[in-house]
Structure 1
Amino acid sequence: MNVESDYEPPAPAPIRRLQESLINRIAAGEIIHRPASALKELLENSLDAGATSIRVTVKDGGLKLMQIQDNGCGIRQSDLPILAERFTTSKLSTFADLSRLTTYGFRGEALASMSHVAHLSVVTKTRTSTCAYKAHYSDGKLAPAQPGQSEEPKPCAGNDGTTITIENLFFNTPTRLSALRNTSEEYARILDVLTKYAIHNPKVSFTCKKAGSSSPDLNTPSASTTRQAIKMLYGHTIEKDLLDTTVSEKTKDEEESWSSEVYFTNANYQAKKTVFLLFINSRLVESSRIKRALENVYTGILPKGASPFLYLSLKVDPRSVDVNVHPTKKEVHFLNEESITTRICDALQEKIAEKSHSRVFEYQAKAPNNVTSQSPPEDREEVTASGSETVSTAPKKVYSHHKVRTSLQDRTLDSMFPVANPSTIGTGSANASGSQSPSRYREVKESECFLTSVKSLRKQIIKGKHKLLTEILEKHTFVGIVDVDRSLSLIQYSTKLYLVNHGTLAEELFYQLGLRQFGDFSRLKLEPPPSLRDLITIAVDAEEISDDTTLSKPDIVERIVEILQSKRAMLAEYFSLTISKDGLVESLPLLLRDYTPNLDKLPLFLMRLGPQVNWTSESECFELFLRELAYFYVPGPILGDISLLDAESAGGKAERWQIQHILFPAMRRYLAAPKSLLDVDVVQVASLPDLYKVFERC
């Protein structure tokens, strides 16, 4: 059966030629992304002009003002009328010139692009001219400085070289401008570009400062070396770990087909993020392939999370390089990239293996009882490992202030007050030395859950994980509890001592354990089961009722009981919080085996579930419930009732034992520490190398 349709396709729209101004503005957006990209183009022009001194002045991250002054060859007066037109350049005359290109710029689009998205002015003087000339540009053409004035370049006073001023960048592209309001970030990007060019051009003096500032933020002298420039711009600490090498390959005619110069750090240098500077034929470019290849050299040499510093300057036959593959010249393509990169990586690996010092790690083996960490070096075992494949067996001297003094037999602060019978405090998993028995240990496995909200909360934990803080907690040595009431403990990591709030750490640990076991909790049975209403009444009676509410205390109790009773099935299924139909609390979720929460907090926990949990939103409900559960599990008495657990009482000793032997080992294994804990909850109080420096001064 044929069915006729009333649908008619739309008529084709006519194709129109875009206006020249719109074409130029679109092209400008491809070249000038932000102030730093404009600066890069202008720096390259100055270097092409043979400048030995480049001064940069910036206001509001380059959005309000960016001025670049150099002492190069300058621009002839006759060239000023076409200076800011598209595709006007002194670098090319024929297409064949692209294959022999040795300069930075070649397309003649940089100044043209800037004139379409900013107010551009140029002051320039050649060495043979008697005065400088100043010109203003708008949309690629000469423009008058003030309305009604002539647009012709005007003679003025000036030094040899060129000063280019860009004002009000992106003034006519408000969308681009609104995306770049963070002026501090833009200024940091400008400094980053200048730093990279200053390292590659150590014979050129670079200066950068903010407008109105008396002192520059970056200042390098001329006639220095690459090593000196790296030391000056990346700090003195990098100098002792900095290596360099040259790698090249010659043709049959004994001419170099390519050569490279590499500065890189050894196995002792560790940064949080890889610093990679890549120049190909003196052009600053990016290459994720080359970066990954060089980073792989350090795999197995640097510890997990540590990164190197790498500066590579590669000289390749210009005929082998295609420089015109990216609008901003950020990328280039060249022949034999894989083989060249492999040769450079091999050279780096050999140099690191040759120059790396063996690193010595001391550990306390299961030796006779009279051997301690304070024993002479000959009584201790040593393991040495170098950055190469060979292992150094020669003993290396380790100075006292670099020794990590830990031992299985070291005494902690709490070991001086031992619990007479640990089994009486509900654990039974301790041996004579106070360590947990492996036979009682059980892995807390992550439950299988298909709820999107729970998966999202688990991903948030992984995303917010702070690598260094997590490593400190994973590899720490417990020193002792400083103050139970204030939840303060001491831990050691390497040669540093940290004061931590174990209450806050425990709260985050229990939240993550709750999320880890969502829907598959073990149960902590309450025998006999207490009344839900009675528990909530106890907590409500202890609270002061706000004047803002019209509900009486019995009304509040009734409302909370109704909420929890209505959510009874969900609480039992997801959290193992079992409430009978008669209103009896039969079981609680057990987050950590051998750890029993302070049940004095149970009334407060149940009461807070009413007003503190958003029961209408799935994700918020799960997160807030687990936060309240974690707060209930935190060691310590109810706030304001500190005197109940005296440190010398049986309950106080039991709590201290649980903190040391259950909580801190669980943190080592399960806690993905968020960065927020660094604010006030983890504080470094001592460093062995720093202490030695103090005593040396004395």
Structure 2
Amino acid sequence: MATISRIKALDPTVINRIAAGEIIIAPVNALKELLENSIDAGSTIIEILAKDGGIKLLQITDNGSGIDENDLPILCHRFTTSKLTKFEDLTSIETYGFRGEALASISHIAHLSVLTRTRKSSCGWKAIYSDGELTQQNGSNDPIPAAGKIGTTFTIEDFFYNVPSRLRALKTANDEFTKILDVIGRYAIHCNNVGFSCKKFGDSHYLLNTRPNLPIQERIRAVFGSSISNDLVQIDIENGFNDLGVKRVYGQVTSPNFNNKKPIQPVFFINNRLVSNDTLRRALLSSMNRFLPKGHKPFIYLSLSIDPRNLDVNVHPTKREVKFLNEDEIIDRICLKVIEELSKIDSSRNFSTQTLKDTDRKNLQESDSSQAYKKPKYDYNLVRVDSQQSKITSYLFKPEMDSQGMDTSKLSSTLIQAKEYTVVPKETVDHNLQSIIDLREEVKQNTSKKLTNIFTNISYIGIVDPRRRLCSVQHDVKLLLIDYGAILNELFYQIALWNFGNYGILILKAEAESSSVSIEKLLLPLYNSEFNPNQTIQDIQSTLEENSEMFEEYFSLKFENGTICQLPLLIKNYTPPLSKLSIFIYNLATKINYNDEKECLKGILKHIALLYVPLSFGASDEFQTDTLNEILENVLVPHLRKNFLAPIGLNSDIVEIANLPGLYKVFERC
């Protein structure tokens, strides 16, 4: 008969070693805790020395405020801290440490000594700890005076000397040192007022060395190298999201030009605390992948400042995870900001490096991060067309063909003989007009996450009705009918809005003339049908000339001596239907409220977008259908996948007409 084991209280030494094993898993965990203590102490210089990956020796020296001599006897007692006094203080905690467990845990699994000196002390004090208590030195358990600089030096030796199973579980010395260097580098990037240095025991050179108050790009260069620091895009939401309790979001991410296939773990700080957040990581990678070549990996550094009342920091023994309110909404808004900033770089990159006759094409899409576990898919649920794969016809597409993006049969050939566009090399200018900022914010606030996800993963099939401007696309296992006229109108508006003041230039040439197209000749066909009785062509020209400086500076529109010389170029390899030019000019002069800045800019952007929308035509015109099919598939739909924030109002322009599970029920096969 089996004996019944009685319940007994564990010995305090056993309890403390178990607890220490939850806090300190490897030398890098001890390093992180002590780094945070040094930063909390106001240090501006922190030096780290490691031997055998920190297992034999890990020393952290800072120039902070030091530890008072009278606090040394209880320094390594569990739950002794200067950071809080009651549980409610956790709702406003802004320091790194708060539980008072780190030093206690270290003293239970390693040999710990502390040398410290405060500014008011005439000498330093040295203390040695074991199992949370002071141990004898020179025949006394009390701290002893010692020479030392202002600040504190923690020396930890022989990690897990009394827990052999944990010691055996550690990786090689090089692996452990790599982890140490990685953590120091992350704090070096974030803490701009602290200088960090790290070297191996016995080496004369530092493997990492940063000075205080370096620019963020220089700190990233010191940690990750110039390949990353030379391709950074700033993410700065200075006023945060007040309605969600976010004070500020700041970060640096690599641009679409960054060439790297090795994964880089993102650097996330929330309220100055180094954390990991899988939801944020996956969302950002998914947002950035649409701008990167297939298989390439970005660098991400992001710092969030959140109202401490909305943050729970006490959810993980090592404090590597935190929970905060409105997580999904906050992450969505951050991703939209990242997409906005990368879209600027993506468009600028395309315009500054390619010209009309450049036929090279690159597929810059990558599918969302793969999941660790995927449910099995049956035949009727298989996606048989991958939106991220190119067709062979995409490599045969010739952007220099005459019919490029235009209905040539409907052009006023007596007015416009040739079209060419050029790119004027210039640095991207950020016009910080409040009206433009407000218009961009309106787009973001009106974005449908569900519809945007659909457009990110569509595969183009073909035009269904060119007169009504309808085409079919596939998303997942669904066949959709979309109004490409309405959708492209919104796409062109967003491209014009996000690239405001930084367009390419489309130069117009008239027949038998060296340059420019006469406005009077363009408007004559409209005179009887569109003009009000009191309007004259001279009135139109006068309005355009009065605003010509604004048109040229902000919209790359140039009116000169009664002619139109150039138009804004929104997308490479696509020019607008120039048969719309007459009504476009007429609308600019008569449909815009020039007395209100926001309404004026919005109106011009809307009419530019409308100019770019492809014309409708009869289904019997096979040549135009084939031409537009090529342009939609190879030029415009890729922009929908990469750069489009679908507004909620587009719901009515998308109709599901079939899906594979439904077809399987009818035909019983795929």
Q: TM-score, with normalisation over the residues of structure 2? A: 0.53
Task: Give the root-mean-square deviation of aligned CA atoms.
Answer: 2.9
In the alignment, the residues of structure 1 paired with residue 353 and residue 195 of structure 2 have an alpha-carbon distance, to the nearest angstrom, of: 47
How is 1:66-81 mapped onto 2 (pairs within 5 angstroms)? 66-81=58-73
Structure 2 letter corresponding to 1:144 = Q
Q: 127, 131, 136: which is aligned to 1:144?
A: 136
The aligned counterpart of 2:359 is 381
Structure 1 contact 86–112 (Cα < 8 Å) conserved: yes
Aligned to 2:154: 164
Structure 1 segments unaligned to the other structure (5+ residues): 1-7, 364-376, 399-698
- Aligned with 1:329: secondary structure? coil
CA drift at 1:264: 0.4
1:281 equivalent in alignment to 2:259: no
1:303 to partner: Cα distance: 2.1
Tell me the residue number matched to 1:647: none
Partners of 2:326 and 2:333 in 1: how far apart?
A: 11
Look up the equivalent residue of 1:381 and give its one-letter code. T
Using the alignment, how far apart are the partners of 1:104 and 1:362 within structure 2? 46
Q: Which residue of 2 aligns with 1:94?
A: 86
Q: Which amino acid aligns with 1:336?
A: N
Partner of 1:180: 170
Q: CA deviation at 1:216?
A: 0.8
* Structure 2 match to 1:65: 57
Runs of 4+, deviation exceeding 3 Å: 248-252, 357-363, 377-388, 392-398
Alpha-carbon displacement from aligned partner over 1:318-343 (angstroms, at most 9, x marks no partner): 01111010000010001011101110
The whole-number CA distance in structure 2 between the counterparts of 1:387 and 1:354 is 17
Change (3 A) 1:26 1:396: farther
2:4 alignment partner in structure 1: 12
Cα distance in 1 for residues equivalent to 2:323 and 2:103: 25
Paired AA for residue 292 in structure 1: R
Structure 1: distance between partners of 2:328 and 2:123:
52
d(CA) in 2 for partners of 1:222, 1:234: 17
Q: Does 1:31 align with 2:23?
A: yes
Higher gyration radius (CA) = 1
Instruction: Please give the secondary structure, in 1, of the residue aligned with 2:289.
Output: coil
* Cα shift at 1:240: 2.8
Residue 265 (structure 1) aligned with residue 254 (structure 2): yes
3-state SS, counterpart of residue 261 of structure 1: strand
Partner secondary structure for residue 189 of structure 2: helix
Residues 215 and 379 from structure 1, CA distance in 2 versus in 1: closer, same or farther, beyond 3 angstroms? closer
One-letter amino acid matched to 2:89: D
Matches within 5 A, 1:501-516: none
CA contact (8 A) 2:240 2:249 kept: no
Deviations, residues 454-513 of structure 1 (Å, cap 9, x unaligned)? xxxxxxxxxxxxxxxxxxxxxxxxxxxxxxxxxxxxxxxxxxxxxxxxxxxxxxxxxxxx
One-letter amino acid of the structure 2 residue matched with residue 308 of structure 1:
P
2:57 and 2:328 map into 1 onto residues whose CA distance is: 42
Q: Which of residues 240, 257, 263 is equivalent to 1:249?
A: 240
* 2:326 aligns with one of 336, 339, 351: 336
2:205 maps to 1:215? yes
Deviation at 1:144, TM superposition (A): 1.3
Are the aligned partners of 2:208 and 2:222 in contact in 1 as well (CA < 8 Å)? Answer: no
**Residues 345 and 144 of structure 1: CA distance in aligned 2, closer, same or farther (over 3 Å):** same
Aligned pairs (5 A) from 1:531-570: none
Letter in 1 for 2:258: Y
Check 1:181–1:310 CA distance in 2 against 1; reply closer, same or farther (3 A cut): closer
Using a 3 Å threshold, how does the CA distance of structure 1 residues 11 and 307 change in structure 2: closer, same or farther?
Answer: same
Offset of 1:237 from its aligned partner? 1.9
Number of equivalenced pairs:
372
Aligned-residue offset at 1:75: 0.3
Aligned counterparts of 2:360 and 2:85: Cα–Cα separation in 1: 68
Residues 1:53 and 2:45 are matched in the alignment: yes
Task: String of CA shifts for 1:165-200, please: whole Å, max 9, x gaps.
Answer: 001111001111112250000000000000000000
CA distance in 2, matches of 1:163, 1:274: 32
> How far, CA to CA, are the matches of 1:323 and 1:361 in structure 2?
46
Mean Cα deviation higher: 209-218 or 225-234: 225-234
TM-superposed deviation, 1:395: 6.3
Following the alignment from structure 2 to structure 1, what is the Cα–Cα distance between the partners of residues 148 and 422?
Answer: 65
Provide the C-alpha distance between the structure 2 equivalents of 1:87 and 1:382, rounded to a whole number of angstroms: 64
Q: Residues 49 and 201 of structure 2 are in contact (CA less than 8 Å); yes or no, is this contact kept in structure 1? A: yes
- Give the Å deviation of 1:294: 0.3
* CA 1:61–1:396: 2 relative to 1, 3 Å: farther
DSSP 3-state at the match of 1:298:
helix
Higher relative contact order (CA 8 A, sep 6+): 2
Aligned residue among 121, 144, 150 for 1:129 = 121
TM superposition score normalised by structure 1: 0.51
- Change over 3 Å in CA distance of 1:378–1:350 after alignment to 2: closer
Q: Does 1:314 align with 2:314?
A: no
Aligned to 2:540: none
Q: Could you tell me how far 1:380 is from its partner in structure 2? A: 6.2
Q: Distance in 1 between matches of 2:357 and 2:258?
A: 30
| Distance across 2 between alignment mates of 1:299 and 1:181 | 33
Equivalent in the alignment of 2:598: none
More displaced stretch, 203-212 vs 352-361: 352-361
Contact 1:205 1:222 in 2 (8 A): yes
Counterpart of 2:588 in structure 1 is: none
